[in-house]
């Protein structure tokens, strides 16, 4: 009987210990669960902050790339504008040369007309030689005028091409500058 009493007491103690341990374990599990939940919440906030910072840096890098592209485009526009101005000066010079050639041709025509009046009929051979020389010079000047006309056409076409290139780059610059206003 004493054994049984001791066994009952021992079993009661074990049951009581087990109950207290279960409650303490349950309390520890609740505390652990709360700590894990807090840590998960903190980790989630950190991940959100990190993703916002990465997105911001990505935006900054993209903005820097666009700004570099704009800088290059503006430098290209300056270069092309100066080059167009140079071609326009060449075009004006060529047109002025062509006008001078037309004046020289008119002068040759007047000279040819006056040539027949200045020679006597007995100087026919000299007059013929002078006319041939005049026509040869006149033809050389006409050839030069033709080459100038071709050069003028090439310059005009080149200027138009360069202006169309500038227009496309200008539209790119204006479009991207509107984003920064």
What mean pLDDT do residues 166-172 have? 83
d(CA 173, CA 179): 10
What does the pLDDT read at residue 93? 93
What does the pLDDT read at residue 24? 47
Would you kindly state where each structural domain of the chain is located, as residue ranges? 2-179
pTM over 0.85: no
Residue 28 to residues 14, 24, 90, 137, 158: CA-CA distances in angstroms? 20, 6, 91, 115, 84
Q: What is the pLDDT of residues 133-145, one digit of tens each?
A: 888 988 999 999 9
Q: Pick the residue with more confidence: 72 or 145?
A: 145
Residue 95 to residues 105, 129, 148, 160: CA-CA distances in angstroms? 15, 32, 8, 17
d(CA 121, CA 45): 114
């Amino acid at each position: 009987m004493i054994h049984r009493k001791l066994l009952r007491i021992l079993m009661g103690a074990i049951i009581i210990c087990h109950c207290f341990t279960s409650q303490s374990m349950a309390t520890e599990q609740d505390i652990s669960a709360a700590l894990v939940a807090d840590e998960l919440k903190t980790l989630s906030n950190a991940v959100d902050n990190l993703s916002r910072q990465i997105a911001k840096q990505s935006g900054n890098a993209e903005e820097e790339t666009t700004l570099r592209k704009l800088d290059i485009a503006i430098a290209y526009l300056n270069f092309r504008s100066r080059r167009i101005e140079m071609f326009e000066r060449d075009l004006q010079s060529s047109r002025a040369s062509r006008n001078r050639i037309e004046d020289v041709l008119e002068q040759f025509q007047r000279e040819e007309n006056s040539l027949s009046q200045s020679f006597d009929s007995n100087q026919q051979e000299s007059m013929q030689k002078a006319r041939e020389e005049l026509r040869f010079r006149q033809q050389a000047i006409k050839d030069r005028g033709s080459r100038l006309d071709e050069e003028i056409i090439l310059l005009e076409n080149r200027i138009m091409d360069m202006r169309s290139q500038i227009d496309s780059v200008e539209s790119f610059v204006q479009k991207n500058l509107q984003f920064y206003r």
